[in-house]
């Protein structure tokens, strides 16, 4: 889940030091926020490999522009905004390029398992036994794929709200929209997602 700015003082200090060129501060910020940025990127792009590239790109862009960050918003919000932009960029680029199921489920992108059979064995799979793992993995698969096929603005709010746990206000700062707009967008995104998942509702209810 989204790492709230628990150590906000420390983060602001780190940011201040990073702005002055302190490389160790960069390192700490990278360590602290990479998990969140990675998951945002992963869920937006739907591809592990692409997500890793996006994380790198997002930090590079953010650090390059760090001196313009004035601390009015939380650093995390600012960074997520960059991350969302980068991931959406990548997704636009990827559009039309089919992803393998193993990629979607977070499996080994190089594995030659282009169907669901490989999903249960993916590192992303959870569960007590093989069957449970397979079902859960399949659920994850269809949900992730449905998210991936949402329009960009819908996908973004779903990822930030439901997967990253950001508040309406935080999402508003990330996507540059008012809270009312965020709410409305999230409602529509969920309806769109539900439509995509209609054929799989039984599986999801299981």
Could you list the residues that contact another protein (CB under 8 A)? 1, 19-21, 23, 26-27, 30-31, 34-35, 38-39, 42-43, 48, 52, 55-57, 59-61, 63-70, 78, 81-82, 85-86, 88-90, 92-93, 106, 123-124, 136, 139-140, 143-144, 147, 158, 162-163, 176, 183-184, 186-188, 190-191, 193-194, 197-198, 201, 204-205
* Nearest residue (CB) to another protein, 118 versus 124: 124
Three-state DSSP at 6 gives coil
Q: How far is the CB of 112 from another protein (least distance, A)?
A: 20
* Nearest residue (CB) to another protein, 63 versus 111: 63
* Nearest residue (CB) to another protein, 19 versus 113: 19
* Nearest residue (CB) to another protein, 130 versus 194: 194
Helical axes 168-175 vs 75-94, angle rounded to 10° = 60
Burial degree of 146 (CB within 10 A; 0-12, 13-18, 19+) = buried
Three-state DSSP at 136 gives helix
CA pair distance 25, 137, nearest whole angstrom: 38
Q: How far is the CB of 129 from another protein (least distance, A)?
A: 17
Q: How far is the CB of 96 from another protein (least distance, A)?
A: 13
* Nearest residue (CB) to another protein, 90 versus 119: 90
Q: How many helices (H) and strands (E) does the chain have?
A: 10, 0
Q: How far is the CB of 201 from another protein (least distance, A)?
A: 6
Q: How far is the CB of 8 from another protein (least distance, A)?
A: 19
* Nearest residue (CB) to another protein, 106 versus 118: 106
Largest pairwise CA distance in the chain: 55
Q: How far is the CB of 31 from another protein (least distance, A)?
A: 5
Could you give phi then psi for residue 93, rounded to 5 degrees?
A: -65, -35
CA pair distance 170, 176, nearest whole angstrom: 10
CB contact at 8 A, 75 and 119: no
CA pair distance 55, 78, nearest whole angstrom: 14
């Amino acid at each position: 889940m989204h790492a709230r700015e628990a150590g906000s003082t420390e983060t602001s200090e780190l940011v201040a030091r990073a702005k002055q060129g302190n490389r160790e501060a960069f390192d700490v910020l990278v360590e602290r926020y990479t998990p969140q940025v990675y998951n945002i990127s992963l869920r937006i792009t739907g591809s592990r490999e692409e997500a890793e590239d996006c994380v790198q790109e997002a930090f590079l862009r953010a650090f390059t522009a760090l001196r313009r960050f004035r601390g009015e918003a939380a650093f995390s919000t600012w960074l997520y905004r960059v991350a969302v932009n980068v991931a959406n960029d990548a997704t636009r680029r990827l559009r039309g390029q089919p992803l393998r199921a193993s990629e979607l489920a977070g499996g080994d992108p190089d594995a030659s398992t282009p169907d669901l059979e490989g999903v249960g064995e993916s590192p992303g799979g959870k569960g007590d036994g093989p069957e449970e793992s397979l079902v859960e993995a399949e659920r994850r698969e269809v949900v992730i794929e449905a998210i991936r096929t949402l329009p960009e603005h819908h996908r973004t709010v779903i990822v930030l709200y439901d997967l990253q746990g950001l508040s309406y206000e935080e999402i508003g700062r990330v996507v540059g929209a008012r809270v009312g707009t965020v709410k409305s967008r999230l409602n529509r995104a969920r309806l769109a997602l539900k439509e995509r998942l209609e054929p799989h509702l039984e599986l999801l209810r299981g």
